[in-house]
Amino acid sequence: MRIAFLTALEGVEEIELTAPWKAVQENGWIPQLVSTELGRVQAFRHLDRAGTYAVDHVLAGDTSDAFDALVLPGGVANPDALRMNRRAVGFVRSFFEDAKPVAAICHAPWTLVEADVVRGRTLTSWPSLATDIRNAGGTWVDEEVQVCHTAPATLVTSRKPADLDAFCAAFLRELADSPHASAASS
C-alpha cells in the first residue's frame, strides 16, 4: 500500500511526520511525501527548525488515485498553508470521496474543515480547533485518539505529539482492515 503524507513545504511538526512514517514503513507499506511544490519540506520541533525531507510527489491534480490512504501531520503553519491551496484541499477531499482511510493529528483538521469533510463526523484535534470543527458541522471530543467510521471514509484523529502511539496504532489497524489493503496486495 502507498500512503500519502501531505505537507506544505514549511511548518510541519517533525515528530507528527516521522512517527507515523516509521510505523507505516515497519508494516511493509510505502510512505510518500506529497506537497504542493517540489523541494524539501522544512520540519519543526514546535517553533524551532528541525530536519528537512525530500518531496516524493508534487500535487498535479486533486485525486487520490495513486494512493491507498492519507496522513495529515500537524504543526500550526502546515495545515494553515494547505487549506489555502485548492489542489491540496481537493486532494484531501478525494480520499473521502474514494472511501480511503485518512489520519490527521493536532492542527491538521484545519485542512479537513476547508475540504468540507468533517460534517457529521466525530473527531479530535489540538483544542484550539474545537470551535472550527463544530462550526463545520463536526463533533469535537477531547480524546487521545478518535476513530470515526462515518461513511464513506474512516477518519483517525489525535490531539498532539503525546498521543502519537495511540494515533499510529489506530491508523495501522484501520489500514490493515481497509479494503484498499487487500486490493493493494493483490
Instruction: Please enumerate, as own/partner, the contacts of 43-49 that have beta carbons within 8 Å and a separation of 24 or more.
Output: 43/12, 43/13, 43/14, 43/17, 43/18, 43/75, 44/11, 44/12, 44/13, 44/14, 44/75, 44/77, 45/13, 45/14, 45/15, 46/13
From 106, 148, 168, 180, the catalytic residue: 106
* C-alpha span between 24 and 20 (Å, rounded): 6
Active site residue 46: no
Q: Tell me how far apart the alpha carbons of residues 63 and 85 are, in angstroms, rounded to a whole number.
A: 14
Q: Torsion over CA of 105, 108, 110 and 116, rounded to 10 degrees?
A: -80
Q: How many helices (H) and strands (E) would you count in the chain?
A: 7, 12
- Among candidate residues 107, 148, 168, 180, the one labeled active-site is 107
Report the C-alpha gap between 160 and 145 in whole angstroms.
10
Q: Could you confirm whether 57 is annotated as catalytic?
A: no
Catalytic machinery residues? 106-107
